[in-house]
A and B are shown apart, each in its own frame.
Chain A
Amino acid sequence: MLLEVKNLDAGYGFLHILRNVSLSVEKGEYVCLVGPNGAGKSTTLKTIAGLISPIGGEVCFDGETISGLAGYKVARRGIAYISEEMNLFSNMTVHENLLMGAYTVRDKQLEKNRLAFVYALFPQLEGRKNQLAGTMSGGERKMLGIGRALMCNPKMLLVDEPSFGLAPLLTEDVFDSLDTLIKEGGTILVVEQNVTKTLDVTDRGYVLEHGRIELEGPSAELARDPHVRKAFLGV
């Protein structure tokens, strides 16, 4: 297992949100975490990324325990987290944002290769190289967020709501780029509102409700599950 979350408990201050969450992601797998608003999906990703320290349980990555490590140390281990709000550096240009993504990359040649890779994946970004990130549209910001995360050549991506606030056509674009990454051997754990689409493209999925994992299994099976169909697909 590349990522293994065991019996994770987490929350904010006295607010206990996640209870006994366990999930795992194999290398090369495309896994999704779905659930209603406020279920704790974002909290799960933040805890894995080290931005929140867990109350209990353990997160292992690549065979080592990473729970309790500071966020920047988790990032240096090779987990790239893309938050819902992107957390771009709004007063830096697109290009500078991408270079910041390669902050931990000391090898200039590797940095160049990554830059070429990101610009090839999102040609729109190259055209807007010198634009300030703060002045970009929602879709462009999303691409920049993913691009910046890819700059450090991560072993795994944690993506929070890639389709949030995007028009259907742009959503397709973003999902296509994630698909490309998977085809090239990447590993992704994605959180999504758009359950139909997500279960359609991913390999496996977990359903999180009220901070607990209620269901898990291959995405195709989840899509057929009566509970999932009733709760998320409206049938």
Chain B
Amino acid sequence: MITEYLKKLYETIRSVAGITVVLAIVVAILSSIFRGPYIIVNTVVTGGMLALMSIGLALVFGVMNVAQFAHGEYFMIGSLTAYYTFIPIERYLGANPNAALSFLAPLVSILAAFCMGALMGVLSEKLIFYNLRKRSRTNWVMNSFLLTVGISVLLVNGHQLIFGTELKGIVRYWTGRPFCIMDVFVSRDRCYAFILSVLVIGLFWLFMKATRTGRAIRAVSQDETGAQMVGIDLSGIQVLTMALSCGLAGIAGASLLFMFPSYPSVGLDPLYMSWFVIILAGMGNVLGAVVGAFMVALLKVLTMEYIGSGWDFVVPTALIMLILIFKPNGIFGSDVRGVLEQ
């Protein structure tokens, strides 16, 4: 029994994905020993939020076959919503201090960002993708991709026209002394952001595995016709998928408001990073996206640490090009499609 498990574990580790993951962990530990534990801390905090972005991207690709290039804009909408929710509450708190409310205020802002992101997702699906799908499904991947670029331009310029180009940021969500973990001081915001990402990923996982609706989403990603045959309302699932995906991007944008103030094109960096992740992990592979997000985050942190901060886009991009040439399905890639399978 135990030997069987060990054997299975050994097989997994020997696969490309396994080797890469083990290598990443070893590198993370070594560099943390030599340079300081902040490397792991930074990786984990950025990785968590990147995972939320990438899950959404993988989901939309796996279920709807849409190569989403407006994903960063839902991140931007999340950060904007959080800003305009948090600032008034903070101002109110300045006048009437209240401990419970000041702990809850960031959570309320993030929740608002999730709702706003989800709402925008629903609107994009209902107004745009639904109508394209009804008109024609020929050349779907290309046409829907071009539409997402259009959505992106629209939202970026919309932000600029309505809210202006200045940085709309906050210094911190949670006041209080930083936590001390492994001799590194980690700000409360970073800590809570990480905990939040783990919680959300966990909830999402449970939703996909254990609920009837989650199973329906997976079914649609594996066989649309089959899903209709068992009575699944495709358009309902498509709306829900967009809502979830954009809502998760909204959470990421809101939770990182203290690092990335909101401005029109704030979503560009997270968009590119999450695309790196899903190319690395294999498009439409949600589980791979979570692991891949931490690996890309590590790569970025290490590049900044060892090579210099101007290079943090160059190295991942070069790596992505290599992957596209040698392993176009991604390192976790499989022939069969499905959003929650490896």
Chain A residues proximal to chain B, CB less than 8 Å: 49-51, 70-72, 75-76, 80-83, 86-92, 96, 99-101, 103-104, 134, 148-149, 151-152
B224 → A minimal CB distance (Å): 9
Residues of chain B within 8 A (CB-CB) of A75 are 228-231
For A103, give its contact among B216, B225, B234, B336 (CB under 8 Å): B216
Q: Would B226 and A96 count as touching, CB distance under 8 A?
A: no
Residues of chain A within 8 A (CB-CB) of B234 are 70, 72
Residues of chain B within 8 A (CB-CB) of A71 are 225, 228-229
Q: Would B222 and A103 count as touching, CB distance under 8 A?
A: no
The interface size of chain B toward A, counting residues with CB under 8 Å, comes to 21
Q: Would A91 and B231 count as touching, CB distance under 8 A?
A: no
Query: How many A-B residue contacts, CB cutoff 8 Å?
Result: 77
B18 → A minimal CB distance (Å): 20
Whether, in the assembled complex, B305 has its beta carbon less than 8 Å from a beta carbon of chain A, the answer is no
Q: Would A134 and B231 count as touching, CB distance under 8 A?
A: no
Interface readout for B215-248 with A: 1 if CB under 8 Å, 0 if not?
1101100110111111111100000000000000
A120 → B minimal CB distance (Å): 21
Contacts A90-B223, A91-B341 given; does A103 touch B218 at CB 8 Å: no
For B228, give its contact among A51, A86, A88, A148 (CB under 8 Å): A51
Residues of chain B within 8 A (CB-CB) of A88 are 223, 226
Contacts A89-B218, A90-B336, A92-B218 given; does A152 touch B223 at CB 8 Å: no
3 closest Cβ contacts across the A-B interface? A87-B226, A91-B338, A71-B228
Residues of B241-285 contacting chain A, CB below 8 A: none
Residues of B322-342 contacting chain A, CB below 8 A: 336-338, 341
Residue in A closest to B235 when the chains form the complex, CB atoms: A70
Residues of chain B within 8 A (CB-CB) of A87 are 223, 225-226, 229
B272 → A minimal CB distance (Å): 29
Report Cα–Cα, A72/B226, bound state, in Å.
Answer: 10
A111 → B minimal CB distance (Å): 11
Q: Would A92 and B222 count as touching, CB distance under 8 A?
A: yes
Report Cα–Cα, A111/B254, bound state, in Å.
Answer: 42
Contacts A87-B225, A89-B218, A89-B223 given; does A100 touch B336 at CB 8 Å: no
Can you report 21 A-B residue pairs in the complex whose CB atoms are below 8 A from each other? A70-B228, A70-B234, A71-B228, A72-B233, A75-B229, A75-B230, A76-B231, A80-B229, A87-B225, A87-B229, A88-B223, A89-B219, A89-B222, A89-B226, A90-B338, A92-B218, A96-B215, A100-B230, A103-B219, A104-B231, A152-B231
Report Cα–Cα, A70/B226, bound state, in Å.
Answer: 13
Q: Would B219 and A92 count as touching, CB distance under 8 A?
A: yes
A sample of 14 more A-B contacts (CB under 8 A), given A76-B231, A151-B230, is A70-B228, A70-B234, A72-B227, A72-B233, A75-B229, A80-B229, A83-B229, A86-B226, A88-B223, A89-B338, A90-B222, A100-B216, A101-B230, A152-B231
Residue in A closest to B224 when the chains form the complex, CB atoms: A87
Report Cα–Cα, A104/B219, bound state, in Å.
Answer: 14
Whether, in the assembled complex, B91 has its beta carbon less than 8 Å from a beta carbon of chain A, the answer is no
Residue in A closest to B223 when the chains form the complex, CB atoms: A87
Report Cα–Cα, A71/B233, bound state, in Å.
Answer: 8
